Amino acid sequence: MTQLFHTRRTRILEPSPIAPEEKSRRQEKRDALAAKCRVVFERLRPQLIKTHYNWHIAIDPDTEQYLIDPTLKGITQKIRDAYGNLNEVKLTIFRLNDTGTCGRLWV
């Protein structure tokens, strides 16, 4: 008689070892950074949108310096070249268009 084995499906990756409180603290920090970057973005957008429409822009809110590139891959490479591979989030990426979003939002 053939015996069938049923394996229980599990996640591919183990659950994150980060505590929920730490996750929420990190999310709040990212949200605060995004809000600071949005202010700079709104100030820069009118002048850059004319010549760089739909390009990606990465903004450092502390120095108000920015990097721009027509592709997401290009902007991420410029960020790595300028800032290295740091584990700390320092920039926010926007798109130079009417909304500033980089992707499609499904509602």
Neighbours of 53 (CB within 10 A): 12
- pLDDT of 65 reads 93
Residue 44 lies in a domain: yes
Q: How many domains does the chain have?
A: 1
Which residues of the chain have a pLDDT value below 50?
104-107
- pLDDT of 107 reads 42
Full domain range(s) for residue 65: 22-95
Residues 6+ apart with CB under 8 A from 99: none
